[in-house]
Structure 1
Amino acid sequence: MKNYLWNMFTTIKNGQMAKKRVVIGPRKNICESFLKILWNEGFISGYRISSQNPSNVEIFLKYTRTGVPVISSLKFLSKPSQRIHYSSKQIWKLDSSKTFVIFSTNQGLKSINECKKDRVGGEPLIIIN
């Protein structure tokens, strides 16, 4: 199930390095919830369902005025071979002002700030700088 997410992370990362405006990813519920978090936090310009193939999503990447990508680095924390889980108490110890972390919780994908607000622990998927 998370293979779709790993592929989408890699597609966005490679698209940013190649200075592309639009990249295409699979249309899955977990991928759309990840894109919704990125859009709400201002890391991408938007996304929409592809008109040519409804099973794909077009992701519009965001750059600064000087052409520098908004997402400077995307790092995978928890990998399929080595899972990491944080309790709600451990999440409070993380500094959310420097990095942005997306967690997979029992309530779906959530940002670090939502996890702190809802007092929920989970598996950290990626760190975005």
Structure 2
Amino acid sequence: MTDPISDYLTRVRNAVAAKHRVVDIPASNLKKEITKILHSKGYILNYKFEEGVNTQGNIKIALKYHPVSKESAIRNLTRVSKPGLRKYAQSDNLPRVINGLGVAILSTSKGVMTDKEANNLKVGGEVLCYVY
């Protein structure tokens, strides 16, 4: 696997398309931070980090659906910066997803954060993905 972040996003996208309740993903520190952001912004219901003996473990993500319409809270997950073409944004030119209704997840020198947090801290970084 050459791009673990794309694999993470694809697993979540496929689970949403198949209307699964829980998706299991191999863990890494970057994936854990992305999962925490998705939970804090209300895109997923819950998550659990399971530690492995010789491996980094797994992330179990409980996906969030509307109780009546059964529509997912995640409408779109898009990978922006890819291994072949990295995309960076400066602090004064951070991306806005659907005019502020979505979230852009950035990897900055201060850690993984959303576009709004990066704007408050006046830091730029690599734009990992868009979520809405």
Q: Secondary structure at the match of 1:88?
A: coil
2:106 is equivalent to residue 106 of structure 1:
no
**How many equivalent residue pairs?**
127
d(CA) in 2 for partners of 1:55, 1:76: 23
Give 4+ residue runs of structure 1 displaced > 4 Å after superposition. Answer: 51-54
Q: Using the TM superposition, give the Cα deviation of residue 50 of structure 1 relative to its aligned residue in structure 2, in angstroms.
A: 3.8
d(CA) in 2 for partners of 1:99, 1:39: 14
RMSD: 2.1
1:51 to 1:86, Cα distance in 2 relative to 1, 3 A: closer
Q: Using the TM superposition, give the Cα deviation of residue 28 of structure 1 relative to its aligned residue in structure 2, in angstroms.
A: 1.4
Give the equivalent residue in structure 2 for 1:124. 127
State how 1:61-76 maps to structure 2 within 5 Å: 61-65=63-67, 66-76=69-79
Q: Aligned letter for 1:30?
A: L
d(CA) in 1 for partners of 2:122, 2:107: 13
Q: Aligned letter for 2:114?
A: S
Q: Using the TM superposition, give the Cα deviation of residue 99 of structure 1 relative to its aligned residue in structure 2, in angstroms.
A: 2.3
d(CA) in 2 for partners of 1:52, 1:108: 24
C-alpha contact 2:96 2:102 (8 A) present in aligned 1: no
Give the equivalent residue in structure 2 for 1:5. 5
Give me the TM-score of the superposition, normalised by structure 1: 0.89
Give the equivalent residue in structure 2 for 1:40. 40
State how 1:20-39 maps to structure 2 within 5 Å: 20-39=20-39
Q: Which runs of 5+ in 1 are unaligned?
A: none
Give me the TM-score of the superposition, normalised by structure 2: 0.87
d(CA) in 2 for partners of 1:106, 1:100: 19
Q: Aligned letter for 2:8?
A: M
Deviations 1:62-116 (A, max 9, x none): 011210010001111111111111110111x736523210011112211011101
Q: Aligned letter for 1:57?
A: I
Deviates further, 16-25 or 79-88: 79-88
How many percent of aligned residue pairs carry the same amino acid? 29
Give the equivalent residue in structure 2 for 1:60. 62
Q: Using the TM superposition, give the Cα deviation of residue 51 of structure 1 relative to its aligned residue in structure 2, in angstroms.
A: 8.1
